[in-house]
Chains A and B, each alone.
Chain A
Amino acid sequence: MNEKLKLNPKLFEEDVEMKPSRNGFGEGLILAAREHEGVVGLCADLTESTRMEAFAKEFPERFFEVGVAEQNMATIAAGLGVSGKIPFIASYATFSPGRNYEQIRTTIAYNDSNVKIAGHHAGISVGPDGATHQATEDVAIMRAMPNMKVFVPCDWIEAKKATIAAVKLWGPVYLRFGREKTPVITTEATPFVPGKAQIFWRSRKPRVAIITCGILLYQALRAAEELEKERIGTIVVNSHSIKPLDEQTLLEMAELTGAVVTVEEHQIMGGLGSAVAELFARKRPTPIEFTGLHDTFGESGKPDELIEKYGMGVKDIKGAVKKVIMRK
């Protein structure tokens, strides 16, 4: 573990604190709103579950309920964003940026309106609601959009920091949050700089760089710990900024190890893995194994069961590491 980053010392213990990353959005939004008068919030009938409720209570005059209308939410925000406001729009990621993709493209991204899009209940870990509510293509959609920045925080504390950071960055931003309680990996003291990847784990003799983001960072760290015991050294990189991607850090890690595994709770097409592959194909051809959803939808189930069944668990990450070593 990288001691400089002041990560949660109890991370590998049984009773590690658990909290959903969406809670960090709620807390970050309030902090940002207290500091910046221009921050306004819009929600499409999901105020409680997107954790916008506390903001709505503290700033009722700056909160707008649009009803079940994600397209309207995005476009009203676009109008507010070109008028000097800093609007946050919150819904489930399957609906926003799912339902309102074109509105986001034209009226927020192309229009360069200062809107922050909070995509909640992302990934397969949404669980029992099933595939209709599990956003697994949202990063691909948003990453391909010019003018858009994409951040995927790993826990609630990083989510809070990313939300606050989004206000300070001018222009459209996409933030991705999970529904489930997940282990707290970072602490308040852990730095967060948009566009800057961080080395969370580094073995003495690393043979593979595991590049990840979001809640599966925990699984990646667990895999690294177990691999260490098997004398397979790794580096685990938290690439919370998918766009802009920290090319320099990622290239250094590939240089050091000569092999890469990507881990994400998303389709392997178009997400973090693709961003990393595009980089290495251009600048440093490197063997890569991709951990994520392989062109399939999810289903109902418990989050842990789903992560296991769809090949994104500790076992799968370890398998990918061993496989990529064979390709070196």
Chain B
Amino acid sequence: MTPLHEGRLKYLEELANKVREDVIEMLLEAGSGHSAGPLGMADIFTVLYFHALRHDPKFPAWPDRDRLVLSNGHICPVLYAVMARAGYFPLEELKTLRRINSRLQGHPHRTALPGLETTSGPLGSGLSQAAGIALSARLDKKKFRTYCLTSDGEHQEGNTWEAIMFAGKNKLSNLTVVIDRNNIQIDGNTESIMPLEPLKEKYESFNWHVLEINGHDMEAFVSAVSEAEVIFEKPTVIIAHTIPGKGVSFMERDYRWHGKPPNKEEAKEAMKELRSLGGRIRSEHE
């Protein structure tokens, strides 16, 4: 994978900011859904769909495509937004999120929308599905990589650790897991609900290659994803430290924004902040 040069970085940062605007607009339109996670993961999703993944939005069933499994399905607004911007479906369709007859289900459904690899929502089952996909790639001697995007909260699910054991045992080096380490979940902060730390050491002891990055540093994410590609003896996990609600000051780091959408005034305020942020990104790079 090519590193990010200055122009590319600026383009991706601006795009990620647009994706955040999409997320706010979608949530306002839908009247329900999750705010903090999608905003926090906008940078990573943008890099994945516009730089890292080998995929073809015009041919979603391309057999050699990289697979992206979203385990914590509730952050799907960010997935839908990057997919629309990448050309999987018209941007207009984003407004149908959570509506009757929409392909954009409240939690992603594989057979509803081309480009989705799994159905998800109930937490803790994405990592093992990704392991199954990676295993099939190995059996078929296929070169594609499987990426699993997970949340920190779903590491409280037993199924997640069963999958971590399985991938470690089978040395699934074609599997990269990205954890959205934003420290929040519905009822509060992860470390007070059910502590996950030391997360890095936990993964290491399960025979994984572990990388830890700032999830808003696109260059760091690109180099972590590149490093994972050349680790041949283990699966890799990238623990991405993110700010939940990133880009909207009154949502940032507040767990109460995990599972609710903005109302009209809040959305207006959020859009104002994001637009001025967009302006700053443009001027900083100029």
Produce 1/0 per residue, B96-135, CB < 8 A to A: 0000000000000111000001111110010011111111
Query: Once the chains bind, are A111 and B140 in contact (CB under 8 Å)?
Result: no
Query: Once the chains bind, are B132 and A76 in contact (CB under 8 Å)?
Result: yes
B132 touches which one: A61, A69, A79 (CB < 8 A)?
A: A79
**Distance in Å: Cβ of B115 to nearest Cβ of chain A:** 13
At the interface, yes or no: B163 with Cβ under 8 Å from chain A? yes
At the interface, yes or no: A249 with Cβ under 8 Å from chain B? no
Name the prevailing secondary structure of the A interface residues. Answer: helix
At the interface, yes or no: A62 with Cβ under 8 Å from chain B? yes
Among residues of B, the one whose C-beta sits closest to the C-beta of A106 is B122
Among residues of B, the one whose C-beta sits closest to the C-beta of A77 is B132
Query: Once the chains bind, are B125 and A106 in contact (CB under 8 Å)?
Result: yes
**Distance in Å: Cβ of A82 to nearest Cβ of chain B:** 7
Query: Once the chains bind, are B165 and A110 in contact (CB under 8 Å)?
Result: no
**Residues of the A chain whose Cβ atoms lie less than 8 Å from the Cβ of B118:** 78-79, 82, 107, 111
At the interface, yes or no: A279 with Cβ under 8 Å from chain B? no
Q: Which residues of chain A in 69-121 are interfacial with respect to chain B, using CB atoms and an 8 Å cutoff?
A: 69, 71-72, 75-85, 87, 102-103, 106-107, 110-112
**Distance in Å: Cβ of B17 to nearest Cβ of chain A:** 33
**Distance in Å: Cβ of B142 to nearest Cβ of chain A:** 9
Known: A79-B133, A85-B139. A72 touches B166 (CB 8 A): yes
Tally of A interface residues using CB under 8 Å: 28
Give the CA-CA distance A61 to B122 in the complex, in Å. 31
Give the CA-CA distance A76 to B163 in the complex, in Å. 8
Among residues of A, the one whose C-beta sits closest to the C-beta of B117 is A82
Q: Which residues of chain B in 132-182 are interfacial with respect to chain A, using CB atoms and an 8 Å cutoff?
A: 132-137, 139-140, 158-159, 162-163, 165-166, 170
**Residues of the A chain whose Cβ atoms lie less than 8 Å from the Cβ of B125:** 71, 75, 78, 103, 106-107
**Residues of the A chain whose Cβ atoms lie less than 8 Å from the Cβ of B111:** 111-112
At the interface, yes or no: A64 with Cβ under 8 Å from chain B? yes
**Residues of the A chain whose Cβ atoms lie less than 8 Å from the Cβ of B133:** 79-80, 82-83
**Residues of the A chain whose Cβ atoms lie less than 8 Å from the Cβ of B121:** 106
Name the prevailing secondary structure of the B interface residues. Answer: helix
Interface residue range, chain B: 20 to 34
Query: Once the chains bind, are A106 and B139 in contact (CB under 8 Å)?
Result: no
Among residues of A, the one whose C-beta sits closest to the C-beta of B144 is A83
Give the CA-CA distance A80 to B163 in the complex, in Å. 14
**Distance in Å: Cβ of B35 to nearest Cβ of chain A:** 24
Give the CA-CA distance A75 to B131 in the complex, in Å. 9
Give the CA-CA distance A110 to B129 in the complex, in Å. 14
At the interface, yes or no: A66 with Cβ under 8 Å from chain B? yes
Give the CA-CA distance A303 to B48 in the complex, in Å. 57
Report which residue of B129, B139, B140 has the largest number of chain A beta carbons within 10 angstroms of its beta carbon: B129
**Residues of the A chain whose Cβ atoms lie less than 8 Å from the Cβ of B134:** 79
Give the CA-CA distance A103 to B159 in the complex, in Å. 9
Report which residue of B119, B120, B130 has the largest number of chain A beta carbons within 10 angstroms of its beta carbon: B119
B119 touches which one: A71, A77, A111 (CB < 8 A)?
A: A111
Query: Once the chains bind, are A83 and B110 in contact (CB under 8 Å)?
Result: no
Query: Once the chains bind, are B159 and A80 in contact (CB under 8 Å)?
Result: no
**Residues of the A chain whose Cβ atoms lie less than 8 Å from the Cβ of B117:** 82
At the interface, yes or no: A40 with Cβ under 8 Å from chain B? yes
At the interface, yes or no: A67 with Cβ under 8 Å from chain B? yes
**Distance in Å: Cβ of A139 to nearest Cβ of chain B:** 23
Query: Once the chains bind, are A69 and B110 in contact (CB under 8 Å)?
Result: no
A80 touches which one: B135, B165, B170 (CB < 8 A)?
A: B135
Give the CA-CA distance A64 to B166 in the complex, in Å. 10
Query: Once the chains bind, are A61 and B139 in contact (CB under 8 Å)?
Result: yes
Q: Which residues of chain A in 133-169 are interfacial with respect to chain B, using CB atoms and an 8 Å cutoff?
A: none
Report which residue of A67, A82, A103 has the largest number of chain B beta carbons within 10 angstroms of its beta carbon: A82
**Residues of the B chain whose Cβ atoms lie less than 8 Å from the Cβ of A77:** 132
Q: Which residues of chain A in 20-73 are interfacial with respect to chain B, using CB atoms and an 8 Å cutoff?
A: 40, 61-62, 64, 66-67, 69, 71-72
Give the CA-CA distance A106 to B110 in the complex, in Å. 11
Query: Once the chains bind, are B128 and A72 in contact (CB under 8 Å)?
Result: yes
**Distance in Å: Cβ of B131 to nearest Cβ of chain A:** 6
**Residues of the A chain whose Cβ atoms lie less than 8 Å from the Cβ of B158:** 71
B129 touches which one: A40, A66, A69, A107 (CB < 8 A)?
A: A107
A-B CB contact pairs (8 Å), 23 listed: A64-B170, A66-B162, A67-B162, A76-B129, A76-B131, A76-B166, A77-B132, A78-B118, A79-B129, A80-B135, A82-B117, A82-B129, A82-B133, A83-B132, A83-B133, A83-B136, A84-B136, A87-B132, A102-B122, A103-B159, A107-B119, A107-B125, A112-B111
The 5 closest A-B pairs by CB, nearest first: A79-B132, A72-B162, A83-B136, A75-B128, A79-B129
